[in-house]
Structure 1
Amino acid sequence: MKKYEQIADEIRRQIISNFYKKGDILPDQQTLAHDFNVSKITIKNALDNLANEGFVLKTSGFGTVVIGPSTLITDKDAPATNFEGLTKQEGANRVSSKVIKFDLEFPDDKVKKNLNLHGEEPVYHIIRLRLLDKEPFIIENTYMPVNLVPGLTLSVLESSIYTFIRDSLHLKFAGIARNIQAKQADGLDISYLNVTEHTPILEVEQIVWLVNGTPIEYSTSRNASNKRAYYLFETN
């Protein structure tokens, strides 16, 4: 965990425990930097995290005001703009994976367009069941260009692809586009998510880009709508 994430965790804990109450103004960034013995940029990153989660409101000329935790957000919800990966969000001790499919393919036109591929460039086609606390949680259907993710193995798929990309390949994610829709349950959902054909399904279709603007992932993830939702917190 990075230093700013540790600091965000500590301030979040202080807010949840009512050490800082709703309406309180947090100490300024210089004071927090001194208290935590870090740089102001580290504090800024920590406060940005908390703002994105709806815990604080950063206002120019007024300070950082405590407004959360939001009554609209539950522990089942995830930030709509977050692309850290499920393992990072929920914790490696809670998340496990069952690999349903792991193949090399030449993609169809839709996948080629979303990954900006030309000619006959192979992709990994990965389908995984993600389990949370050993219970079926999400089915991910993922395509990644082989040339961007060399060395992908079954053992990586059974843990965290994003951790492998960040820590082993030293690639940095920079942007994401998501389309979130309600869907009917399909055969894979029924087989692996313990749902029926009448269960509402939430589908997230996404493209993830690296810092150089290259798409590294096109995927869809599906879960029962009562298992997970997504929230967006914006400020003016």
Structure 2
Amino acid sequence: MGSPLYRRIAQQIKKEIESGQWKQGDSIPAELHLSEKYEASRVTVRQAIKVLVEEGLLEKIQGSGTYVKEQKIEHNIFELISFTEEMRSLSKEPVNRVLDFQLIHPPDHVQRKLKLSDNEKVFYVRRQRLVDEVPYVLEDTYLPVNLFPNLSYQIMTGSKYDYIEKEVGKKIKDSFQEVIPVLPSEDIAEALTVNVDTPILKIQSYSVFEDGTVFEYSENHFKSDEYKFTLRASRP
């Protein structure tokens, strides 16, 4: 016996979404239109839609309608994992494109965060973080030369945290983060392929080793149409 009609309709709608006939964020056609299209009752169509809502492909918005759900990356800011680790956990293979790599005297605010003296230098690295050639994040990171004297352009095309933990042999403990909605500057907008009037999310963070040493200061710019940020609050 074949699968029920509503499941076959759900599968057909799913194929149309995957093929791009229905775009993320699009409102789906009315039940009457779908029942005529698939030669099924409105009750059957409603069941098919319910299946796809439960699978997370469609979403119902009260008082508005049913839409193709935008598949944003869900980023838990309470979980300290790298972009590479996050993407691989979603079966995506990330690419780190190094746009700038310099040995510099840090700006004052970076010097304070890293607790450096006036004569100490840092590596400044700007990286475009991509998946399937789509830029998701633009990262500006500052790493003290005295902690990472062998840091190179090639190393930063891979996972920064992998290098620190596996090559340098340091254990990362905590990251302290501040999330700010901003409008991007022209260079950041260009790197993220967004308009300058499109809001993005900026996270300013510094990270420490188990011994309390601050080893990194970063400013990460996230495309708001690719990411959503989640918080989990527990009642004491």
Calculate the TM-score normalised by the size of structure 2.
0.66
Q: What residue number does 2:215 align with?
A: 216
Conserved in 1, the CA contact under 8 Å of 2:92 and 2:131? Answer: no
Q: How far off is 1:133 after superposition?
A: 2.3
CA distances 1:36-78 after superposition (whole Å, capped 9, x unpaired): xxxxxxxxxxxxxxxxxxxxxxxxxxxxxxxxx9x9xx75111
* Equivalent residue letter for 1:117: L
What number of residue pairs does the alignment pair up? 165
Do structure 1's residue 85 and structure 2's residue 82 form an aligned pair? yes
Match of 1:76 among 73, 76, 85: 73
Q: How far off is 1:179 after superposition?
A: 0.6
CA distances 1:80-124 after superposition (whole Å, capped 9, x unpaired): 122221001111851101111100111122111010111311100
- SS in structure 1 of the partner of residue 154 of structure 2: helix
Do structure 1's residue 175 and structure 2's residue 174 form an aligned pair? yes
Q: What residue number does 2:23 align with?
A: none
Q: What residue number does 1:31 align with?
A: none
Higher gyration radius (CA) = 2
Q: What residue number does 2:112 align with?
A: 113
Q: How far off is 1:198 after superposition?
A: 1.3
* Equivalent residue letter for 2:110: V
Q: What residue number does 1:207 align with?
A: 206
1:157-176 matches, cutoff 5 A: 157-176=156-175
State how far apart, in whole Å, the 2-side matches of 1:75 and 1:129 are.
Answer: 18
Percent identity of equivalent pairs: 25
CA distances 1:173-207 after superposition (whole Å, capped 9, x unpaired): 11111110110021122221111111111100001
- SS in structure 1 of the partner of residue 217 of structure 2: strand
- SS in structure 1 of the partner of residue 189 of structure 2: helix
Q: How far off is 1:231 after superposition?
A: 1.3
Calculate the TM-score normalised by the size of structure 1.
0.66
State how far apart, in whole Å, the 2-side matches of 1:103 and 1:75 are.
Answer: 33
Q: What residue number does 1:197 align with?
A: 196
Q: What residue number does 1:138 align with?
A: 137
* Equivalent residue letter for 2:113: N
1:47-58 matches, cutoff 5 A: none
State how far apart, in whole Å, the 2-side matches of 1:161 and 1:211 are.
Answer: 17
Q: What residue number does 1:14 align with?
A: none
Query: Which segment is superposed worse, 81-90 or 204-213?
Result: 81-90
CA distances 1:135-155 after superposition (whole Å, capped 9, x unpaired): 111000000101112311122
Structure 1: gaps (5+ residues): 1-68
CA-atom RMSD in angstroms: 1.9
- SS in structure 1 of the partner of residue 187 of structure 2: helix
* CA distance 1:75–1:227, change in 2 (3 Å): closer
* CA distance 1:108–1:116, change in 2 (3 Å): same
